[in-house]
Structure 1
Amino acid sequence: MANLKRIVLLYGLLAGGIGVATSKGCLSRPLVKTAGEVAAVPTWDVQSTSKVSADPLVLSEPGVDVSSWHHAKLSRCTLMACLIAAGVYNEVDLFMSDNLNKVDDGQFRAPWLYRNEFVLKPGPGQHYFLQTNGVTSRADVFLNGHKVADSTTQAGAYGGHSYDITGIVNVSNALVFQVYPTDYLKDFGVGFVDWNPAPPDNGTGVWRDVNIRQTGPVSLGPLRVVTKFGKSDGSAGARAVATLKATVENLENRTITLDAVGTVSEGAAGQPLSSSKSLTLQPFASGELQLETTIDNAALWWPVRWGGQTLYTAQLSIFVDNKVSDKTERKFGVREVTHHLNSFNDSSYTINGRPFQVRGGGYSADMFLCWDKAYFTSQMQYVMDMGLNTIRLEGKMEHPELYEITDQLGIMVMPGWECCDKWEGWSYNDNLPPHPNWTAADYAVANASMYHEAAMLQTHPSVLHFSVGSDFWPDDEAASIYVSALRAMDWPNPIIPYAAKKDGYPAIVGPPGMKMDGPYDWVPPNYWWDTQPYESHLGAAFGFGSELGGGVGTPELSSLKRFLSPNDLTNLWQHPNISMLHMTTNTSDFSTRTIYNTGLYHRYGAPTSLEDYLLKAQIMDYEATRSQFEAYSGLWNAARPATGAIYWMLNNAWPGLHWAFYDYYLHPAGAYFGAKVAGRNEHVAFDYVKKSVYLINHSLDQSGPRSITWEVVGLDGKSVSKGTVSAVTEPNKSRAVVDLSKITNRPQNVVFLRLTLSEPTNNNKPLSRNVYWLAPTFDTLDWSFDGDASWYYTPVTSFADFSSLSRLPKATVSTMLSSSANGNGLRVIVKNTASVPAFFIRLNLVAGGGEDITPVLWSDNYVTLWPKEELELSVSWTGGARPTAVQFSGWNVERRTAAVPGSS
Structure 2
Amino acid sequence: MIALLFLFSTAAAAIYGKPLATVPGQQDAIPNWDFQQLHIVSKNIAALSEPGVDTSSWHHAPVSRCTLMGCLLAEGTYATDGPDGLWYSDNLDRFDQSPFTTPWVYRNQFRLSTSSKRHYFLQTNGITPAADLFLNGKQIADNVTQSGSYGGHTYDITALTRKENALVVKVYPTNYQEHLAVGFVDWNPYPPDNGTGVWRDITIKQTGDVFMGPVSVLVDMDIPIKQNKNRDADVTVKAQARNLSKRPVKFIARAEIRTPDSKHLKVLTKTIHLGAKASVTVKLPTKIQDPQVWWPAAWGKQPLYSVQLTYSVGQGTSDISPRTNFGIRTVSSELNAHNDTLFKVNGHPIQIRGGGYTSDMFLRWDSQYFGHIARYVLDMGMNAIRLEGKMEHPELYDIADRLGIMIIAGWECCDRWEAWPYNDDISQDPPRKWSEIDYETANASIRHEAAMMQTHPSMIAFLVGSDYWPDDRATAIYLGGLHDAGWQVPVISSAAKRGYPKALGPSGMKMDGPYDWVPPVYWFDREPTDNRSGSSFGFGSELGAGVGTPTKGSLTRFLTDKDMEDLWKKPNKGLYHMSQNTSQFYDRSIYNKALFTRYGKPTSLDDYLMKAQMMDYEATRSEFEGWASQWSASRPATGLIYWMLNNAWPGLHWNQFDYYLHPAGSYFGTKIANRVEHVAFDYFKSFVWIINQSLDHSGPRSVHVDLVDLKGNHLSQQKLHFTTKPNKSQKVGDISSSIKRIKDVGVLRLLLVDDDTGKVLSRNGYWVSKQKDIVDWTTTSWYSVDSKQSANFTALNTMDQANITVSASKEKLSGGWELQLENTATVPAVFVQLNLVDKRGNDVTPLTWSDNYFTLLPRESIEVKLTDWSGKGATIQVDGKNVKRSWIRLG
* TM-score normalised per structure 1: 0.96
Partner of 1:159: 151
Which amino acid counterpart does residue 490 of structure 1 have in structure 2? G
1:453 partnered with 2:422: no
2:397 to 403, 407, 413: 403
Provide closer, same or farther for how the CA distance between residues 627 and 268 of structure 1 changes in structure 2, counting only shifts above 3 A.
closer
CA distance in 2, matches of 1:509, 1:473: 10
Q: Secondary structure at the match of 2:460?
A: coil
2:750 to 749, 755, 764: 755
Unpaired runs of 5+ in structure 2? 1-6
Partner of 1:264: 257
Partner of 2:768: 774
1:634 to 626, 629, 633: 629
Contact 1:238–1:299 (8 Å) recurs in 2: no
Partner of 2:58: 69
Partner of 2:609: 614
Partner of 1:367: 361
| Residues 124-135 of structure 1 mapped to structure 2, 5 A cutoff | 124-135=116-127
Q: Deviations over 1:621-659 (max 9, x none)?
A: 000000000010000001100000000000000000000
Q: Secondary structure at the match of 2:363?
A: coil
Contact 2:832–2:853 (8 Å) recurs in 1: yes
Contact 1:224–1:489 (8 Å) recurs in 2: yes
| Residues 98-113 of structure 1 mapped to structure 2, 5 A cutoff | 98-113=90-105
| Residues 831-870 of structure 1 mapped to structure 2, 5 A cutoff | 831-870=822-861
1:890 partnered with 2:886: no
Shift of 1:475: 0.5
Shift of 1:747: 2.4
Contact 2:8–2:58 (8 Å) recurs in 1: no
CA distance in 1, matches of 2:587, 2:846: 29
CA distance in 2, matches of 1:823, 1:245: 43
1:33 partnered with 2:22: yes
Q: Deviations over 1:370-400 (max 9, x none)?
A: 1000000000100000100000000000100
Q: Deviations over 1:421-445 (max 9, x none)?
A: 0000001111012231101111000
| Residues 262-661 of structure 1 mapped to structure 2, 5 A cutoff | 262-328=255-321, 329-434=323-428, 435-502=431-498, 504-661=499-656
Shift of 1:25: 5.0
Contact 2:223–2:347 (8 Å) recurs in 1: no
Which amino acid counterpart does residue 383 of structure 1 have in structure 2? V
Q: Secondary structure at the match of 1:94?
A: coil
Partner of 1:3: none
Provide closer, same or farther for how the CA distance between residues 414 and 244 of structure 1 changes in structure 2, counting only shifts above 3 A.
same
1:191 partnered with 2:186: no
Partner of 1:205: 197
1:803 to 794, 808, 821: 794
Contact 2:709–2:742 (8 Å) recurs in 1: no
Contact 2:8–2:59 (8 Å) recurs in 1: no
Contact 1:417–1:469 (8 Å) recurs in 2: yes
Shift of 1:679: 0.6
Q: Secondary structure at the match of 1:895?
A: strand
Contact 1:812–1:832 (8 Å) recurs in 2: yes
Q: Deviations over 1:112-164 (max 9, x none)?
A: 10111111101121111000000001000001101010000000000000000
Q: Deviations over 1:219-247 (max 9, x none)?
A: 10000110112354454532112101111
Which amino acid counterpart does residue 658 of structure 1 have in structure 2? H
Partner of 1:97: 89
Contact 1:217–1:252 (8 Å) recurs in 2: yes
Contact 1:21–1:45 (8 Å) recurs in 2: no
CA distance in 1, matches of 2:396, 2:504: 27
Contact 2:13–2:60 (8 Å) recurs in 1: no
CA distance in 1, matches of 2:148, 2:366: 23
CA distance in 2, matches of 1:284, 1:21: 45
CA distance in 1, matches of 2:794, 2:223: 58
Q: Secondary structure at the match of 1:562?
A: helix
2:809 to 808, 818, 822: 818
Shift of 1:877: 1.8
Q: Deviations over 1:712-736 (max 9, x none)?
A: 0001101111011211111110000
Q: Deviations over 1:572-613 (max 9, x none)?
A: 110000000100101100000000000000000000000000
CA distance in 2, matches of 1:565, 1:536: 43
Higher mean alpha-carbon deviation, 792-801 vs 654-663, is at 792-801
CA distance in 1, matches of 2:224, 2:516: 42
CA distance in 2, matches of 1:52, 1:578: 45
Contact 2:803–2:823 (8 Å) recurs in 1: yes
CA distance in 2, matches of 1:231, 1:749: 53
Partner of 1:244: 237
1:50 partnered with 2:39: yes
CA distance in 2, matches of 1:581, 1:283: 61
Contact 1:23–1:118 (8 Å) recurs in 2: no
Shift of 1:330: 1.4
Provide closer, same or farther for how the CA distance between residues 822 and 853 of structure 1 changes in structure 2, counting only shifts above 3 A.
farther
Which amino acid counterpart does residue 876 of structure 1 have in structure 2? T
CA distance in 2, matches of 1:84, 1:866: 50
Q: Deviations over 1:463-492 (max 9, x none)?
A: 011000000000011011101111111100
Shift of 1:776: 1.3
Partner of 2:709: 714
Contact 2:174–2:193 (8 Å) recurs in 1: yes
CA distance in 2, matches of 1:710, 1:746: 14
Contact 1:238–1:300 (8 Å) recurs in 2: no
Partner of 2:3: none
| Residues 646-685 of structure 1 mapped to structure 2, 5 A cutoff | 646-685=641-680
Shift of 1:313: 0.3
CA distance in 2, matches of 1:192, 1:141: 27
Q: Secondary structure at the match of 2:778?
A: coil
Q: Secondary structure at the match of 1:272?
A: strand
Which amino acid counterpart does residue 56 of structure 2 have in structure 1? S
1:703 partnered with 2:698: yes
CA distance in 1, matches of 2:15, 2:460: 45
Q: Secondary structure at the match of 1:91?
A: coil
Q: Secondary structure at the match of 1:114?
A: strand
Percent of residue pairs bearing the same amino acid type: 50
Partner of 1:688: 683
Shift of 1:797: 2.5
Aligned length: 878
Shift of 1:32: 1.4
Partner of 2:4: none
Which amino acid counterpart does residue 66 of structure 1 have in structure 2? T
Unpaired runs of 5+ in structure 1? 1-16
Shift of 1:823: 6.2
Shift of 1:54: 4.4
Q: Secondary structure at the match of 2:28?
A: strand
Q: Deviations over 1:491-515 (max 9, x none)?
A: 000000000111x210011111010
CA distance in 1, matches of 2:40, 2:859: 71
CA distance in 1, matches of 2:740, 2:331: 43
Which amino acid counterpart does residue 454 of structure 1 have in structure 2? A
Provide closer, same or farther for how the CA distance between residues 483 and 117 of structure 1 changes in structure 2, counting only shifts above 3 A.
same
* TM-score normalised per structure 2: 0.97
Higher mean alpha-carbon deviation, 416-425 vs 237-246, is at 237-246
